[in-house]
Structure 1
């Protein structure tokens, strides 16, 4: 690119990532495609993350390190690295995952050859905390369909949102709303990207997702490794703790009355109206969403019951405090 602008920007949001951060950065610096900038946004880490990042930034001028004065939540930090980017293409990177050396090159070659594609990723397998193979991730989504309502239907499926870590056209990202501060925000973000354009999956295992006890998936979605093929036996009890995920995405919501499943449903519904679709396509999207909701209605009722319990406890505490204050005077 001209004026020293890189073709690709890589955004790495991180909080307390010292254990795996060096391996993740080394994996990116070892890429055969070298025309990129690496933007690291440190979410006020309290471990050695800052020390590690500054040392790498001194050695490689492609690395730009930023540190937030306070923790702004996971979603805001994800959005921040894109806001700081300048490349034609953009890729998010996690502080604990690894990539094959030709991951970037192969993704960019695909996008360069087909302007109708907006995102390119690869097949995935899981590694443990020592980098050893655990299992393949074999969910196949037909997100290369030319019909947006069919891509929408596919992206309503049960899957893990690793496509987020593919290479994406920055022009498409600018058309999509930023990642939200609510449960399933990454899946809803992908859904909206899918309405904007086609995805392509390289049929090679080039992305290695690390599974370990400190990651958000393990903390709030302990059964996530069961969601790794197209024909699993799912139960609603296996779903993530969306209240905890909401707080992870936006820490300011901790302790507040939330309706996480209602919010997710609302965001899915809004997605249908974020991009221009014809009447037939919108109807198809609404039908797919209703099918997705079927069997999960009790989760919406659960939100209302939990909110009522929290509200009742708050009223009781307030009443006790007022009585104590009255008798104290």
Structure 2
């Protein structure tokens, strides 16, 4: 009995000393970021049985407050897409599509309709009398999983080019890593209950991947909100999961590219971040004969972000993309 009590006391002592050292080193328990987002007249997304969630049609004003800073932008969704012009044309044989797949960079998070890359690209094409219709299928939080699912529904008779905007930070979305669910679920408000959404994700199965669906939940570990040690352990596990997700993402991207190639649709894989992992993935597919473009920018550079909002990962704007897209 005494040995058991002594062992328990020793464990508690070790935990206490470790916690003290972690606090001195600057580590803290889990803390939710101070962020509030308001959608008017309603939340601008809706559940989707295939993609997990998609854009809701309508005109929306989105206001976000990060600490003492404020951002307001206006977004118009038509046919579950961000508009690329005030009057959408129906595609014809002479009016083929350039389809953009991506996340919030492509969607234009934080930007009004007319400031998004897709909108500017559409205007420049029409100014040059090029009968190409730009479709912006980018949605905040999308990644390789959604790119694969969307590519399956692309009509090869009207799609002239599909542009996939990829970054390594999307990998955790491919497998629904705990880190991704940690960022989304605890910080949602009552207008965006992602915990009720059946989200798609992939797992590695031998040499291939398998598609699954699960609820977007994030269960806290015991004492995670009180002990820096528990939060550190959770973060270490999240880092391990994210490293594993990179392999799965590459397989999913490979299947997406193959799927479009089999349809006879031209595809351009773009790297939109400056990190080495994004570069390596783009280089890998270039070596396999696919058309690629890397134009990653450092989002810590004030020219390319909306600091301080981007510090807590409200997705950064894409104001540096129009010139590159026009050049291609």
Structure number with the higher strand fraction is 2
Per the normalisation by structure 2, the TM-score is 0.23
Per the normalisation by structure 1, the TM-score is 0.23
Structure number with the higher helix fraction is 1
